[in-house]
Structure 1
Amino acid sequence: MPLSLISAADAAWYTGRPVGTIWRWASEGRITSHNGRYDVRELPGKTVDEFGDVHLGDPPPLPERAHRAA
């Protein structure tokens, strides 16, 4: 299946988190950076309820190698 790449700014909007969080997730190995773009399918999307409240999805898990190093 082809990648669905979006910019860091778009990833931040999609997840409801700051761009710095997207960059941190990539540096931690939680998501894959494709030359500064990110596959939307790896990202936890935010949801907005009928009252307009934003609910964030769970962050992507740390890769297994990070758990072993801790």
Structure 2
Amino acid sequence: MEINKDIELKKLGEKIKAVRKRLCLTQFDLGVRIDKDQQSISRLEAGEINPSYIYLMEICKGLEVELKDIL
């Protein structure tokens, strides 16, 4: 089974964005919560970067969700 990295990163970004919007947070707000800039959050949500496990854990902390909720 072949995994299309671009598609999977886009799906991950969309899930993160959906949770963020559900919490009525802007990209800037989330960035402040986890000490990242808005551009970094934007690139993550657009599927332009492959986040590390630690980065994903920081995102989860900022969104107050578990990792399984965004994967």
What TM-score does the superposition give when structure 1 sets the normalisation length? 0.38
Structure of greater relative contact order (alpha carbons < 8 Å, 6+ residues apart): 2
| Higher strand proportion (structure 1 or 2) | 1
What TM-score does the superposition give when structure 2 sets the normalisation length? 0.37
Larger Rg: 1
